[in-house]
Structure 1
Amino acid sequence: MKNYAKLLMVSTVFAVSLNAQTKDQMVQSIMDETYKNSQLETLAYELMDDIGPRLVGSPKMQQAHDWAVKRFQNWGIDAKNEKWGEWKSWERGPSTIEMVSPYAKSIEGMQLAWSPATSAKGLTADVVMLPMFKNKEEFAAWLPKVKGKLVMVSQYQPTGRPEYNWKEFATPESFEKMKKESADASEEWRKSIAATGETSKSLNEKLEKAGAAGIVSSYWSRGFGVNKIFAAGTKTIPVVDISLEDYGQLYRMIQHGKTPKLKINAQSKDKGIAPTFNTVAVIKGSEKPEEYVILSAHFDSWDGGTGATDNGTGTITMMEVARILKKYYPNPKRTIVVGLWGSEEQGLNGSRGYVWDHKDQMPNVQAVFNQDNGTGRIANISGQGFLNSYDYIGRWLSAVPKELTKGIETSYPGFPGGGGSDHASFIAAGVPAFMLSSLSWSYGSYTWHTNRDTYDKIVFDDLKSNVATIAILTYMASEDPEKASAERIKMPINPRTGEPAKWPEMKEPTRKGGLD
């Protein structure tokens, strides 16, 4: 009996030693493949440059889904496109904006998403500026004047210099003066829009019904040369967004009694209704195939740029993680799923659709790792309200080399994310899902939903760091002998209601969108 116990102890020590050796070898293989054989730049070129922006429902979105399926299959990974709904389909075409009076000049700008096209000859009309209103009556009296005109609907920005530039070079007095004047002007503009009884979203529709020929906006993103590009909000008249610089010139001309005239030629195509998908890739588990580790990133983008950092970087990161794991970890203990979600930008629709349509999977998910905030290194991981997240996240992170984790801050147990990105869809279903938050790289001002979100903004060294980190986390989560606890925190009292805050609720996606 003593000999048997001794043999069992030796076997156990040997197994532990072998497991540690296997883990070290796997980590080293992941690191070597990440840094010596990276496919990130190729994937980035193919997705951002060769395909381009991925507006939900658009032909480019479908092209991207088909590309991703083929890429996964070429790596020996099963993949398919899963339909979750339908959306208005629109295709961007060439567009030009020119000032033709008081003199000829090219204007920097572009159509907004889902904007109606002009005729083949284009549209030429005088430009008028939305004035300041005190009440609905003033707005109603002015509204007939827009008939046949191009209406400027954005706040005038007297400075195109971002705040950091002022802070560096201006006197303290001048800097504070600029900030106060800017804040006062924004508040005055907000009150004027509120006085019309409209919102920034409904205003375009109101102007369209009043007979405006088109709408000109300028949604400055508070950085040099960047504007945010969203949806048109009209059914029959074109909407263009132009640079702060050109918008300001048109405004000042009007203020000085001149009437500029623009010619807009925008050849977009209304393609009707298109099916919408998630691309889902699967590396089947060998020991616990009915348990899952999910790699999550949204595939769609707005289309001012090419959707490079929102969320092309998250997409190619998860694809590269899958490629490496398939090469060195082809028979994971748990099933590894890569979800590239559609229509995150319109309300997490793709991931909500996946969660809703795969409810039976949700109790068996070990963890979801989601990335969706730019090109930077992972800087923060929150426990998202899962009580014991410190235990298993800490255990998995311990295998990641220190040079990758030294800049990562963790906070446990945290609070559940209710929106913002696709991890929230899983959290609402009670699944341990974690946002791998990244360093900013001026994401909010310069690339998030802007006309400058392009390939050249990608920092590949940081992406490689994320690939290695996520691949190791996925390996550890798959190998963990324990099922990760989904026990939730007791939610705190909401000070506004005096009642306990509620855990986010599962929501079905918008299955048919873009038709309002």
Structure 2
Amino acid sequence: MKNTYTQSRLGLWQKTLPFMLGAVLISSIALAQSNKPVIDSIMAEETNNSQLEKLAHELFDGVGPRLVGTPQMKQANDWAVAKYKSWDIPAHNEKWGEWRGWERGVSHIDMVSPRVKSLEGTQLAWSPGMGKKTTTAEIIILPDLADSVAFQQWLPNVKGKFVMISMCQPTGRPDDNWKEFATTESFDKMKKERSAMTDAWRKRVSKTGLNNKTLPVALENAGAVGILTNNWSAGFGVDKIFGAYTKKVPTVDIALEDYGMLYRLTESGANPKISVHTESKELGVVPTFNTIAEIKGSEKPEEYVMLSAHFDSWDGGTGATDNGTGTLTMMEAMRLLKKYYPHPKRTILVGHWGSEEEGLNGSRAFVEDHPEIVKNLQALFNQDNGTGRVVNLTGQGYVEAKDYLTRWLAAVPDTIKNRIKTVFPGAPGGGGSDFASFVAVGAPGFSLGSLSWSYGSYTWHTNRDTYDKIVFSDLKNNAMLAAMLAYMASEDPAKTVNTKTEGIKWPVQVKATRRGGLDK
């Protein structure tokens, strides 16, 4: 009986297997065909009627940089809400903390002796204002002293002077320019000399007993009239522009070319004098916001697909590629979804986060404040590394990510998906951008990694991060991809399961800083 039963079952299996395989194939084809109209519409709309250039002009040229705590940040929040509402997408600004309010004013920086030359320079964020005063003074270079005792003895020499506290770079040419034209011997010699100079300058600062944060404060307390820095970004004409630590006198980043000239003139005894006038306003304590927009789900409204990008920026440029391009990618994706997928199965949210640059604070606050969303998250897609087209996607250490991400990518046209390298399960991101805030609590947050376009040197946190660095063809690619992934994640009949891969050290959740730049 047993053998007869087994043979019978085997015969039945042999007869039904082709039918079952055929049914699966038919089901897959049907699924692809059912998705195709929406995918094709997204592709056609973005190809023929993209709003990215208009959005970029309004945000980067009109509003400008979006430093946390500035009026421009709040202006950007309000602009995004109004833009979403014009597309019939509900949106709001959600307060999550408070920050030191500050607004940049005009700057004039000139060498007046031994000759006259206007200098390229930028006051650092949160640098103290000078009111209507202009200060003209000589320059002194931080010397190489024996130890902190010798530094304290030297310190009175800074009174009434501008102090240079950065190394004088030996070259203003980026390394790829040297590689193209230099001999191997001269390139290697330059790199060796630069490395030795960098190490020596680091030791010079260390021997003061202070660091890059406390040194400017000690100098201003000793009577310096201003601090001069150069934070070269290893490319032609680019400096990284961060924040000031001084409370009473300006801190100004001088471009490499002018910084080197002033340094050499000072070092040779020419006693250059510069005239500095910088204005800024302290605005007290101001609220900080995330901008959230929503397309409500029709079948599973309590499950969520999220698009994600930080909205804030540093303010040496206009924050175009960090992270204006990620911001516009997600805004445009939401516009596409609203037009061609207005009734998603799951609720689709977009988060435009505040104060990412100071430690992922906006997204960390959202994770803390909205556990009901985080626990029901189908997937989150974040983009934050420049204007380039997306070419990398990893599973962030989740075992099942390969199954559902591969399934969703299958619906994406070959011209987009074939450029993307996937790595599964990958490793969880511990920081770097806002997806990591979600990964830290075990939620499925994914980074859409982009081509560099010399991001690290030329636009990341620099004075050259402006509209003209955007590659709109790549941005269109990313907006389509984000919209398609959100669509597929929303349509998927199955809720994602996200098991952490064994043997991987998982990042720890970090609490948001809710009061920034304010004395405790």
Superposition TM-score, scaled by structure 2 size = 0.94
The equivalences for 1:41-120 within 5 A come to: 41-120=53-132
Q: Return the match for 2:52 from 31, 40, 48.
A: 40
Give, as a single letter, the amino acid of the residue that structure 1 aligns with 2:436: A
- Deviation string for 1:358-409 (max 9, x for gaps)? 0122110000100000000101111111111111111111111111122211
Kindly provide the CA deviation profile for residues 93-141 of structure 1, in whole angstroms up to 9, marking residues without a partner as x.
Answer: 1111011111211011111100011131311111111112332122212
Q: Aligned partners of 1:223 and 1:418: how far apart in 2?
A: 28
Partner of residue 431 from structure 1, selected from 420, 443, 456:
443
Larger radius of gyration: 2
1:237-261 CA-partner distances (Å, limit 9, x unpaired): 1111111011001111111112111
State the secondary structure of the residue aligned to 2:265: helix
Matches within 5 A, 1:73-472: 73-472=85-484
For residue 12 of structure 1, report the CA deviation from its aligned partner: 10
Deviation, structure 1 residue 143: 1.3
Once the two structures are TM-superposed, the CA of residue 203 in structure 1 deviates from its matched residue by 1.3
Find the counterpart in structure 1 of residue 13 from structure 2.
none
Cα contact 2:32–2:411 (8 A) shared by 1: no
Aligned counterparts of 1:507 and 1:283: Cα–Cα separation in 2? 29
The CA distance in 1 between the partners of 2:370 and 2:281, in whole Å, is 35
The 8 Å contact of residues 118 and 264 in structure 1, kept in 2 or not, is answered as no
Change in Cα spacing, 1:174 to 1:368, as seen in structure 2 (3 Å) is same
Distance of 1:133 and 1:432 partners within structure 2: 52
- SS class of match (1:93): strand
**For the structure 1 residues 192 and 25, does the alpha-carbon distance in structure 2 shift closer, same or farther, using more than 3 Å as the test?**
same
Give the direction of change, closer, same or farther, for the CA distance of 1:12–1:399 in structure 2 (3 Å limit).
closer
Q: Contact 1:216/1:239 (CA < 8 Å) preserved in 2?
A: yes
Query: Partners of 1:398 and 1:98 in 2: how far apart?
Result: 58
Q: Distance in 2 between matches of 1:471 and 1:463?
A: 12
Cα-to-partner distance string for 1:430-480 (whole Å, 9 max, x where unaligned):
101111010000000000000000000000000011111111111110001
- Tell me the matched-pair count: 501
| Cα offsets for 1:274-320 (capped at 9, x unmatched) | 10000000100011100101100000000000000000000000000
Give the one of 509, 516, 519 matched to 1:506.
Answer: 509
* Segment drifting more, 441-450 vs 208-217: 208-217
* 1:268 positional shift: 1.1
CA contact (8 A) 1:297 1:341 kept: yes
Can you list the C-alpha shifts for 1:194-229, whole angstroms capped at 9, x where unaligned? 222211122111212222111011110010000000
Distance 1:172 1:399, change over 3 A: same
Deviation at 1:17, TM superposition (A): 5.9
Distance 1:363 1:332 in 2: 19
Aligned-partner Cα distance in 2 for 1:133–1:166? 33
Name the TM-score, length of structure 1 as normaliser.
0.95
Percent identical residues: 60
Give, as a single letter, the amino acid of the residue that structure 1 aligns with 2:302.
E
| Distance apart, 1:20 and its partner CA | 3.2
2:77 maps to a residue whose letter is H
Superposed CA offset, 1:328-370 (max 9, x none): 0000011000000000000000000111000122110000100
Unaligned regions of 5+ residues in structure 1, if any? 1-8, 493-500
Aligned counterparts of 1:17 and 1:346: Cα–Cα separation in 2: 47
8 A Cα contact 2:388 2:475, kept in partner? yes
The aligned residue for residue 502 of structure 2 is 490
| Distance in 1, Cα, partners of 2:105 & 2:269 | 34
Secondary structure in 1 matching 2:110? strand
Change (3 A) 1:94 1:258: same
Contact 1:96 1:110 in 2 (8 A): no
Aligned counterparts of 1:515 and 1:133: Cα–Cα separation in 2: 34
Q: Which residue identity is paired with 1:447?
A: T
d(CA) in 2 for partners of 1:465, 1:135? 55
Match of 2:3 in 1: none
Secondary structure of 1:118 counterpart: coil
**1:5: which partner in 2?**
none
Which amino acid is 1:444 matched to? G
Aligned to 1:4: none
